Amino acid sequence: MPVISFSDVPLLAMAPPADGNAPIWVQFLPFALILGIFYFVILMPMRRRQKKVSEFQDALKVGDKVITTSGLYGVITKVNDKSVQLQIADKVRIEVAKASVGGLQGQEPVVPESSGL
C-alpha cells in the first residue's frame, strides 16, 4: 500500500496572488457592489413607502373615516399639525398622533404592519 505524503500534494490555497500589484479600486469593487445591491433592494423601497405614508398623513381631512394602527375605527373631526381628533362613538372623541392613522376604512392600510418577532 503506497504512503501518501502531504509534501506531494500542492497547496493551492496558500499560493500567492497571480497579480500582486492590483489597483486598490479592484479590491473595493465587491464591497461597493454589495452596498449598491443593499441600496436598491432595501433602502429605495423603504423610502418610497415612507413618502407614500407621509403623503397620506398630510392629506387627512375632517370627515375621513379612518382606522388607527391599534385598531380603532373613527371619523376625523379635527386636524392639527401632528395629531388628529377622532370621534369613535357618540360624544366620545380622542386625539391621536397622525402617525398612528393606518389607513382609510374599507381600503388597504397605507402604514405597513409591523411584524413582531
| Cβ neighbours of 5 (radius 10 Å) | 7
- Assigned domain for 26 exists: yes
Q: Are residues 69 and 99 in the same domain?
A: yes
- Assigned domain for 69 exists: yes
The total of structural domains in the chain comes to: 2
pLDDT in tens, 53-89: 999 999 999 999 999 999 999 999 999 999 999 999 9
* pTM passes above 0.85: no
Which residues does 101 contact at the CB level (< 8 Å), separation at least 6? 56, 57, 60, 66, 67, 68, 69, 84, 111
pLDDT in tens, 10-44: 555 555 555 567 788 888 899 999 999 999 899 99
d(CA 96, CA 10): 71
- Assigned domain for 2 exists: no
**CATH number assigned to the domain comprising residue 91:** 2.30.30
